[in-house]
Structure 1
Amino acid sequence: MTKPQKAIIIGAGPAGLAAALRLQQYNHISSVVYEIRPKPTTLGGAIGIPSNGLRLLHRLGLYDNIRLRAAETSNLVLHAIKGDVIGKADLTSWSRDKTGFGYLRIQRTSLMDVFYDAARLADIPIHFGKRLVGIVENSDGVTATFDDNTSDTADFLLGCDGIHSAVRKLYVDPNMTPEYSGVVNIFSLLETIMLPQARLSLDGLNATLTTDGLLALCPCTATNEMIYWFFSRQLSMPPGGGGRDGWEEKGKQEVENLKVTLLELLKDTSGEWGDMWKAIINQTNVVKFYPIFRMVLGGQWARGRCLILGDAAHAMQPHASQGVSMALEDVFLLSKLLEIPGRSLEEVYAVYEQKRRPRTDRMSKMAERNGNVRKKTGPWQLWLQECAISGMMSVYNLCRLDRLGIGQKELAYDVEEEEV
């Protein structure tokens, strides 16, 4: 195969811009990025990026700028529904030792600012307001056509356009659609200046299990002036199959009832933790409702000169904080494979899938398991769950099981060590 010279990338999120940067830096392949939104989005809450993703961001040259904008949130603090602390754990003690990186939480808009700045410095063109309507390929290349009657041709095309990927729907695997996970996320970003003094000691991810889901908060800026808080709970799909109108109505109802719901769940929560949450709930004026969808395992990722990456191929529940990291691993493996001489794109994509599927399937199942703590439960079951988790965390810390890498080995994985 003649070495590719140009790529079309659909999607200007982390996956698409990481792909454009890596292909230029390492493979000397130029990319043109097309984004359906009319301008950079201001939507989103905060994103967690563990060790495996941070190491790859460092190799892209982005880590230092991200670190200036992010909070270190490697610690997990679990609070009982009554308010007292029942367990603490360092989520990255072992993986940090192996990789040199911990766990950062950053506002999505701040993360995208870093990516956009890097793309501008690298002179990578990004075209907004481009809705993909067609893909045609032949032996010479692949052509993408957009709804404004413009088109572009390149040696290959990457679909980095998220869980509702147009590349997947139009060309790669039209029959594969996302499925609802059964869990929703209601979240907000809030400035901490008006919160109680306890805000000054906030460290890492602080969580409380309730009878109706998981309630958690963490800082998401380097100076801790902003927190990201969320309520993650099990919720049935709206009547009629969960169309846009059904979800909008259900989301509206959930948001309207949120303060009453949370204050009722926390009525017995006391102390600094209880005071903190009641202040957060009362001071929050804007919340976002987000039903969590995921991709079914086993879908098609490649067709001809086209490959889908990141959430377009293997969107998973966010309960393992691996969305960005999985996309980065995709990008780095593809980049490595493209440097091997003598392989056709078909062969490159085949090896790519062989190497990536076991890893992404494993992480998707982990995220699904982690989501189980969002399910509804009764008061006695919650108490038993708190006791069990407290006991496990105590044994983990007392026996220093972190030294064995238990629960952290996936975070030390290095995709560039894959034999290809």
Structure 2
Amino acid sequence: MNDNGGHGSGVRTALVIGGGVAGPVMALALRKAGIEATVYEAYPTAADGVGAWLGLAPNGQAALATVGADAAVRAIGQPVPGMVMTDGAGNRFAGFGGFPELPATLTLPRDRLFRALTDHAVAAGIRFAYGKRLVTAEETADGVTAHFADNTSATADILIGADGIRSTVRTVIDPHAPTPEYGGVLSFGGHATVGGEAGAEPGAMYFAFGRAFMGYWRGPDGRMIWFAGLPADTPPTPADLARIPHAEWLSRLRELYAGHVPGERLLRHTGPDELMAVGPMERMPSVPHWHRGRMVLVGDSVHAPSSSSGQGASLAIESAVELARCLRDLPTPTEAFAAYEALRRPRVEAIGRNAAAVNKVKAGKTDAPVPAFPAPEDMLRPLHFHRIAWEERVNVGASGAVSIPT
């Protein structure tokens, strides 16, 4: 049974495809709503060493608290409450110390977040099945059946695609669904063995715009953690990216960031072994169909906003909790899915559009080397204060509009 007394949609079981950020949170939120879920992950084991660093904003942490996973993530994250914006010459033009009533944004490696969420979900009794790469899915008289590459299958009342920006579930729902949109920039990250002389105050993340963009902050071990972009009209394939030695990528970055403050210094103190070639910066354009029948999308599979937003993981977590709430309260999966989309689409698409505009600056596709941002407090308030009202009931009126009582 759920913590609100029943199964609103009649859904009792779910297949969650994908074990990244959204998958474990989705299963935990479904459990809280009285729905048993199994997470099916394509890789043979939980992700380790996958991806670079990310930020988990206060709104994402609040959504995690709904499923009781916030403490597990706080234990491994580095609080970075502040933000400083500069130009490529080192001139500061905006700063913000964080909202005192909110927790600080946490930075942590992506794979450590995956591991923490998975471990928490397993401890809560969520079942994970590895080596299960989805091939297709079909609705049956009993629900929906997923077919995997190892010739096994599984059936449940609903199927939720939490399988990332290259989602298979998205193409099952709509074979004509859009594919990820390249932002014109290759993403890199690294650790620089330089500390205070880089001019970074502890507890602040810096965003240095100009001819080239770089973000950086001081890590827990005193080294500088940085992320940067290399504009490229055509993205390399993953194979091409892997073939080019890190020393060559580093040489290209050093050439681009010559004269950049502090990019030139940070790259000079970064060795090839400390460089991460993350890959093309991508986002999902507007996806016409978030759901069909008993199948629905959540997280990056439907609204990946690109790393420029600083909100990718947080939005995925929010959406997982919101979807579970709608399934808890509405009488059919179709109504629950429609309400979930209505509640989430405006927010996630607005954030995605803003990130796309920043990507154009990073790719050198605009005449303005420094974006005309609003004040950081005004920019961050609608992001960081957003909350999923788990304790309130989702209602759909006769017009189909979603309303939440206050």
Q: Establish whether TM, by shorter chain, passes 0.5.
A: yes
- Contact kept in structure 2, 1:50 and 1:322, CA below 8 Å: yes
Compared CA separation, residues 76 and 34, structure 1 to 2 (3 A): same
- Contact kept in structure 1, 2:180 and 2:283, CA below 8 Å: yes
Within a 5 Å distance, the mapping from 1:341-352 to structure 2 comes to 343-352=331-340
- Contact kept in structure 2, 1:188 and 1:229, CA below 8 Å: yes
Aligned partner of 2:23 in structure 1 is 16
> Helix, strand or coil for the counterpart of 2:301?
helix
Aligned partner of 1:40 in structure 2 is 46
Aligned partner of 1:409 in structure 2 is 382
Within a 5 Å distance, the mapping from 1:110-189 to structure 2 comes to 110-169=112-171, 171-189=172-190
* Post-superposition CA distance 1:223-282 (Å, at most 9, x none): 3456532212432125xxx7x4xx533675595543333333444357xx4674144334
Compared CA separation, residues 264 and 79, structure 1 to 2 (3 A): farther
Percent of aligned pairs sharing the same letter:
25
- Contact kept in structure 2, 1:304 and 1:346, CA below 8 Å: yes
Q: CA–CA distance in 2 between the matches of 1:250 and 1:149?
A: 32
Flag as ranges the 4+ runs of structure 1 deviating above 6 A.
Answer: none
2:228 is the counterpart of 1:231:
yes
- The residue type equivalent to 1:154 in the other structure is A
- The residue type equivalent to 1:62 in the other structure is A
2:177 is the counterpart of 1:204:
no
Q: CA–CA distance in 2 between the matches of 1:79 and 1:31?
A: 46
> Helix, strand or coil for the counterpart of 2:270?
helix
Query: Aligned residues, how many?
Result: 384
* Structure 1 residue 73: Cα displacement: 2.1
Q: Which moved more, 1:150-159 or 1:63-72?
A: 63-72
- Contact kept in structure 2, 1:311 and 1:327, CA below 8 Å: yes
Q: Which moved more, 1:309-318 or 1:73-82?
A: 73-82
* Structure 1 residue 377: Cα displacement: 7.5
Compared CA separation, residues 268 and 330, structure 1 to 2 (3 A): closer
> Helix, strand or coil for the counterpart of 2:329?
coil
* Structure 1 residue 102: Cα displacement: 2.7
Compared CA separation, residues 349 and 36, structure 1 to 2 (3 A): same
* Structure 1 residue 54: Cα displacement: 1.3
Which of 355, 358, 365 lines up with 2:343 in the alignment? 355
Q: CA–CA distance in 2 between the matches of 1:57 and 1:75?
A: 21
* Structure 1 residue 305: Cα displacement: 0.8
- Contact kept in structure 2, 1:172 and 1:302, CA below 8 Å: yes
Q: CA–CA distance in 2 between the matches of 1:269 and 1:348?
A: 50
- Contact kept in structure 2, 1:184 and 1:289, CA below 8 Å: no
Greater helix share, structure number:
1
- After TM superposition, the score normalised by the length of structure 1 is 0.82
Q: Which moved more, 1:252-261 or 1:324-333?
A: 252-261
> Helix, strand or coil for the counterpart of 1:184?
strand
Q: CA–CA distance in 1 between the matches of 2:128 and 2:320?
A: 18
Q: CA–CA distance in 1 between the matches of 2:307 and 2:104?
A: 18
5+ unaligned residues in a row in structure 1: which ranges? none
Q: Which moved more, 1:201-210 or 1:130-139?
A: 201-210
5+ unaligned residues in a row in structure 2: which ranges? 1-7, 395-402
Compared CA separation, residues 278 and 45, structure 1 to 2 (3 A): closer
Aligned partner of 2:34 in structure 1 is 28
Compared CA separation, residues 276 and 7, structure 1 to 2 (3 A): same
